[in-house]
A and B are shown apart, each in its own frame.
Chain A
Amino acid sequence: SAVISQKPSRDICQRGTSLTIQCQVDSQVTMMFWYRQQPGQSLTLIATANQGSEATYESGFVIDKFPISRPNLTFSTLTVSNMSPEDSSIYLCSVTQGAGGYTFGSGTRLTVV
């Protein structure tokens, strides 16, 4: 299965600032997925990113808050904009495995102070 490198692994940010998370996959993939995992909670899909088109956002998530780039078939970024303490979470990128299921990156642990 694919190997995903995600960075930064963690960050502490001031409220009102933005953070861009990078996700690099070792093989070409059509779709990449961005998830949020709030402290002690399950995984919630933020958006699906296809190369060459705008990302598709899930209910409750908007492009102005979570802009996504997908410049090629191996790379994507998620930006968390105008951050507040409520944005403190783990952010994960993922891709589908050929036989089913997801491969996840190691996550970005974001703390907003």
Chain B
Amino acid sequence: GENVEQHPSTLSVQEGDSAVIKCTYSDSASNYFPWYKQELGKGPQLIIDIRSNVGEKKDQRIAVTLNKTAKHFSLHITETQPEDSAVYFCAASETGGFKTIFGAGTRLFVKA
């Protein structure tokens, strides 16, 4: 069945460094790729997304890239801050998002 693999499971960086989280997906019909941030004690929050007709999207310190041929997409966080510490989930779905497959999550620690 459809699958989304996410790596690494844990990532520790120094404040100010960059963090990269990578995902691969298996369903060729997937065309919508959101990223969620889940802080301790809260529900996941959508932070950025990308659609298959775009190769890259940026919003301030976060960016997402998509290689549809290779079925890879990545989250890039630059100039990391302690408040970036959280669990990040990638996901893949078809337009409408009614069947969304989530990655296993990456626990990011940003050390001050």
Contact = CB atoms under 8 A, between A and B. Distances in A.
Interface residues of A, number: 20
Contact of A102 (B51, B97, B103, B105): B97
Given A42-B105, A100-B49, A106 B43 contact: yes
A101 B46 contact: yes
Interface range, B side: 20 to 34
B46 A43 contact: no
A82 B102 CA distance: 28
Interface in B68-112: 89, 95-98, 100, 102-105
Contact of B34 (A4, A100, A107): A100
A31 interface: yes
A111 interface: no
Interface in A82-113: 92, 94, 96-97, 100-107
B44 A104 contact: yes
Contact of B97 (A4, A6, A41, A100): A100
Contacts of B96: 96
Contact of A101 (B41, B43, B49): B49
B90 to A, nearest CB: 10
Interface string B18-36: 0000000000000010101
Contacts of B61: none
Interface of B: 32, 34, 36, 41-46, 49, 51, 89, 95-98, 100, 102-105
Interface of A: 4, 6, 31, 41-43, 45, 48, 92, 94, 96-97, 100-107
28 contacts: A4-B43, A6-B43, A41-B104, A41-B105, A42-B89, A43-B44, A43-B102, A45-B100, A94-B43, A96-B97, A100-B32, A100-B34, A101-B32, A101-B34, A101-B46, A101-B97, A102-B34, A102-B36, A102-B46, A102-B97, A102-B100, A104-B36, A104-B44, A104-B45, A106-B41, A106-B42, A106-B43, A107-B43
